Every structure is written in C-alpha cells, then in structure tokens.
Amino acid sequence: MTTASITPRFGELAGDLAAGTGDGRAALVFLPGLTFDRTMWRPALRSLRTIDPGRTTLTLDMPGEGESIGTFRGLQVAIEQLHVAIAAADIENPVLTGHSGSAIAAMFYAMKYPVRGIVNVDAVLDNNAFSAQLRALEPQLRNGSLPAVWDELFVGLHAERSGPAGEAMLRATSRPRPDVMLGYWAPVLAPPPTAENAIADAIANLRAQQTPYTLVLGEEPDTATRRWMAERFPEATVIALPNSGHFPHVAHPDAFARILASVSS
C-alpha cells in the first residue's frame, strides 16, 4: 500500500523547511516568481548545501501559486500570509530571496516586518517600460487571452539559457492563473505612477533601515539601468550572471549559491 505524502504547510502556504545549525547565520526564505512554484529553487539549494552547509532555508509557494493554490486574496493579504508562514517556521529577521515579482513583494514585506537583507533575482526596479507594456496588453489580459499573452511573454524570459533540464523544469512548473496574475499585477496596471511610487517608497524604507540589498541580474545591465540604480539606490549591490535570461539562479546555481553565502552570513 502506498501512502500519500503530506505537503508541509506554514500558515496557509505550502513550503519546505530545512533547519540549520543555529549558529546565528541568517535564515534564507525563498519566494518564486509569478506563475512558478518553489521547485524553481532546487538547483540553487543543492549547490547551497555544498557551498554553505547548515544554513536554515524555507522555500514557500506564494499565495495562489503551486500548492498554495486557492489562497490568494490580494497583494496586501499576501504580505501578511508570508509573515504568518515565516513566523510558523520559527524564523526571525530572514534574508528574503525573491524571483521577479516576488522580489518586489519582498521589498513591500520589509516595509512592515524586519529582515536581515533582500536578494532580488532579476527584477529591474525601474519598471516603467514593463508597466507600459502590461497596460497596453490589459484588454487582452482581461478578455480571457492571458494564457496566450503569457506564452508570448515567456519566450522573452529565455528559459532555454538554463539548459535542457532547467528549461524543462521551468516550463513544467509555470502555471498561469489569470485571477492570481491580475491580482499581483494590480499596482502595475493601475494608472501611473502607482507602481513607481510604491517601489520608490520601498527603496526609501530599505535605505533608511540600511537593509543590505543585492540585485542579481541574468544579463549585464545597460547604462540606463546602472544610472537609475546609482541615482536612486546607490547602496544596492548589483551582480550580473550573464547569459542567464530571467533565471540566473537556475542557469548558474553554483555561482548563485556563492552569492547567497556571501550576502547572508
């Protein structure tokens, strides 16, 4: 007789906790990007176990995603759900590692709750171009065409740069759910400068709190991005893992794990 496995839950959210040695190093909490689930972190976690053994890690499925399906009730509620989950794992002051849109959610989280640092995986903070693109696509997003739009957007994420196994994993675990995607994109779809102001406020909070912030990009940033970061968030560390597309943590898990080990000690 086979026994069905029970997914661990932290509050409402599905997740996996690996308790560390309790030596004072910051716990790492991993948040997957929109449409993906926590399995996207497995390559990096395997590398981290070798490069930085004994680190406490918690990987969560975001509200509405993965095995946390059915729990999304808006972005602000999602922040509270994350806090409940982190507390349920008995973690305090974590380093939040968020991919894409979840990196922005991590910044909003830090406006309410203490964190030891944030690692942003390939979410450019100057989101004017992306906001304009989504607003132009909004009629299609709301008329039932969102899955087709996501298929087109996915091509530009360059999952193929993660290698055959990485690409297969990313494609298999990307599940676009229109209500959830539109909910997380609500600030971006709102009239400008709603999203821009929200990010500016989050940056101001991180700077005031002197929270360590690392932006890991999958390609070398262009001149405009470097200038924007230098002007608005000069304390941030910007690292590029070139030829990775939108998934540097999957394309280069060893290099990414070394970054995590260095910024969260």
pLDDT tens for each residue of 195-234: 999 999 999 999 999 999 999 999 999 999 999 999 999 9
Helix 75-88 to helix 101-110 angle (10° resolution) is 70
Secondary structure letter of residue 32 according to DSSP: P
pLDDT digits (tens, 9 = 90+) for 37-79: 999 999 999 999 999 999 999 999 999 999 999 999 999 999 9
Of 116, 109, 59, residue with least CA distance to 92: 116
Q: What is the token pair recorded at 37?
A: 């689930």
Q: How does the average pLDDT of the chain come out, rounded?
A: 95
Question: What domains appear along the chain, each with residue ranges and CATH number?
Answer: 9-263 (3.40.50.1820)
Is the pLDDT score of 1 beyond 70? Answer: no
pLDDT for 60 equals 98
Give the CA count within 13 Å in the CB-facing half-sphere of 85. Answer: 29
Q: Which helix (H) or strand (E) holds 238?
A: strand 237-240
E-strand spans in 28-106? 28-31, 57-60, 95-99
Q: In what order do the strands lie in the sheet with 95-99?
A: 9-10, 13-18, 57-60, 28-31, 95-99, 117-121, 213-217, 237-240
pLDDT digits (tens, 9 = 90+) for 99-134: 999 999 999 999 999 999 999 999 999 989 999 999
Predicted TM-score of the model (pTM): 0.96
